[in-house]
Amino acid sequence: MFDNINEQHSKALDDIVKARRTVRAFSPDAPRKEDIKSVIQAGLIAPFGALAVAGKSDFRKVIVIPNSSTANVTAASIIQSRFRQFADELEKKIGLAPFVQNLRRVAQQGVPGIGNAPYYIVVGERKGTPPVAAQSISYCLHTMWLKATSLGIGFQLVSATIQMDSDPEFCKLLGLSCGDYALDGCALGYPAENYEPPHVDYPVYDKSVAWL
């Protein structure tokens, strides 16, 4: 069917890239630990800002928090109370703007992806100069996302995690030295039965691309 191995790889990658979607409703059936491990292993070999972390071997950390663990409940509660505080502080400055309303919603209803998915996973990337830790985490998470997709495992970014990098209680829970790591997170689990992601109008080639 394929002329060569490159075509085969390219077709497989195209299929996975097209199948990648955000999953926001999960089955309670947890994926196998080996599969979660292989998703994380894919993230560990994603690109990183080498100059920013030169000389450091502990520049990327991954913390797995199963939803059956007490750590999961603690993480959710720390984030909710932190978001309540953020909302109070910000509302005094800018009023009840949409962003403040979103903070309040998370503070009241909880963080989507924490508690309703079998795994909440936090990625920490050591901060350095130039300040590219956030970008490095995105590469790590995106590689995990593609690997999860290839295994039929659903993925949801949990961006609320980003705000928690200087929270002593949260960093202590993760076992990371506070302030040294940028954070981001995701939820992993099989999509709920009959889950259909919403329609998204992605940019189209003819309108979005210029060749100079």
Ligand X SMILES: Cc1cc2nc3c(=O)[nH]c(=O)nc-3n(C[C@H](O)[C@H](O)[C@H](O)COP(=O)(O)O)c2cc1C
Residue 150 · residue 95 · CB < 8 Å = no
CB of 53 to ligand X, least distance (A): 21
Taking CB under 6 A as the criterion, which residues in 47-86 touch ligand X? none
Interface residue with ligand X, options 129, 159, 166, 177 (CB under 6 A): 159
Question: Is residue 200 within the footprint of ligand X (CB under 6 A)?
Answer: yes
Residue 63 · residue 121 · CB < 8 Å = yes
Cα separation, 89 vs 51, whole angstroms: 36
Question: Is residue 132 within the footprint of ligand X (CB under 6 A)?
Answer: no
CB of 180 to ligand X, least distance (A): 22
Q: Which of 21, 14, 12, 16 is nearest to 191 (CA)?
A: 21
Q: What is the DSSP string of 164-204?
A: GTT-HHHHHHHT--TTTEEEEEEEEEPBPTT--PPP--PPP
CB of 32 to ligand X, least distance (A): 24
By C-beta, is 42 or 117 nearer to ligand X? 117
DSSP-derived pairing of the beta strands 181-189 and 119-126? antiparallel
Residue 157 · residue 184 · CB < 8 Å = yes
Question: Is residue 137 within the footprint of ligand X (CB under 6 A)?
Answer: no
Indicate the DSSP class of residue 45.
T
Question: Is residue 157 within the footprint of ligand X (CB under 6 A)?
Answer: yes
Cα separation, 26 vs 3, whole angstroms: 39
Question: Is residue 182 within the footprint of ligand X (CB under 6 A)?
Answer: no
Cα separation, 97 vs 101, whole angstroms: 6
Taking CB under 6 A as the criterion, which residues in 84-123 touch ligand X? 112
Question: Is residue 163 within the footprint of ligand X (CB under 6 A)?
Answer: no
CB of 15 to ligand X, least distance (A): 15
By C-beta, is 55 or 198 nearer to ligand X? 198
Question: Is residue 17 within the footprint of ligand X (CB under 6 A)?
Answer: no
Interface with ligand X by CB under 6 A: which range of 65-73, 99-107, 153-161, 204-212?
Answer: 153-161
State the residues that interact with ligand X by CB under 6 A: 21-22, 24, 112, 156-159, 197, 200
